Amino acid sequence: MEHFLYLFVDFFSIFFPFIFSFYPKSNFSKKWKFVWPAILITAIPFIVWDAWFTSMGVWGFNSRYLIGISLFGLPLEEILFFICIPYACVFTYEAVNYLAGKDYLQNYSKHLSILLSCFLLFSGILNINKWYTSMTFILTALFIVLHVRVFRSAYMGKFYFAFLFILIPFFIVNGILTGSGIDEQVVWYNDNENLGIRMGTIPFEDTFYGLLMILMSITIFEWMQTKKRSSHTS
């Protein structure tokens, strides 16, 4: 049964968000025409990135917890990760903001974005010799800068607020995958390519890797909705 562990993690990550997607008062399933393209478009560069880093030995996978099917040089479970986790996170983003009723961080989002992008860009350049740290931090910083300077996104406050809640299941899932509560790691990391700072068993960089993946999905999700609304009003 341990060969199914990663597959079970994927399944249970999406199971409850999928079930609650049909909640009548806020029916997330009605937005699937925006959700699935956003997730699949985001998945493409992340799968390429993942396969590249796997081939370089930046990280890898423990066959003990895999069913043994591979695609593009990655375990099937890892491919499903880029579908199941973003779905759960976009659902959480929508659910949290539906329940919150307002944008609590609207007035602070630009300052948060500037501070976060400066920290990530500086840290990424300072650790340019570490592949995971530098690429994750620099790409995340640049994407946040795009939101501030180019997109001028009005939803960044909502994103940051929801991300605080997303971190809870994100850390549970990543904790399991990096060895919390099990004998070995499902996903191992070469600490020569990261800062070597762990939050429990989770590399510090994973937080921002996840932030970038989720923000990219939400960016496309929000853009597609805006485009649809614009076409109806024109």
Q: Does residue 22 register a pLDDT over 80?
A: yes
The 3-state DSSP class for residue 108 equals coil
The CA distance from 83 to 5, in Å, is 17
- pLDDT (mean) for 117-136: 98
The SS3 call for residue 74 is strand
pLDDT tens digits, 199-211: 999 999 999 999 9
pLDDT at residue number 120: 98
Beta-bridge partners for 27: none
Helix (H, G, I), strand (E, B) or coil at 22: coil
Predicted confidence at residue 229, as pLDDT, reads: 81
Contact yes or no for 98/165 (Cβ under 8 A): no
Distance CA 72, CA 62 (A): 17
The boundaries of the domain holding residue 20 are 2-233
- What pLDDT score does 233 carry? 67
Whether residue 59 contacts residue 49, with contact meaning beta carbons closer than 8 Å, is answered with no
HSE toward the beta carbon, residue 163, CA cutoff 13 A: 21
Q: How confident is the model at residue 234 (pLDDT cuts 50, 70, 90)?
A: low
Q: CA-to-CA distance for 174 and 207, rounded, in angstroms?
A: 10
pLDDT tens for residues 91-110? 999 999 999 989 999 999 99
65 neighbors 186 (Cβ within 8 angstroms): yes
Number of domains in the chain: 1
Residue 49 CB-density burial (10 A; 0-12 exposed, 13-18 middle, 19+ buried): middle
Q: Percent of the chain having pLDDT more than 70?
A: 99
Categorize the per-residue pLDDT at 26 as very low, low, confident or very high, splitting at 50, 70 and 90. confident
Q: What is the DSSP code string of 166-230?
A: HHHHHHHHHHHHTTTTSSS-SEEE-GGGS---EETTEETHHHHHHHHHHHHHHHHHHHHHHHHHH
- 3 state DSSP class of 66: coil
- Whether pLDDT at 188 is above 80: yes
Tens digit of pLDDT for each residue in 56-74? Answer: 999 999 999 999 999 999 9
pLDDT tens-place string over residues 5-18? 999 999 999 999 99
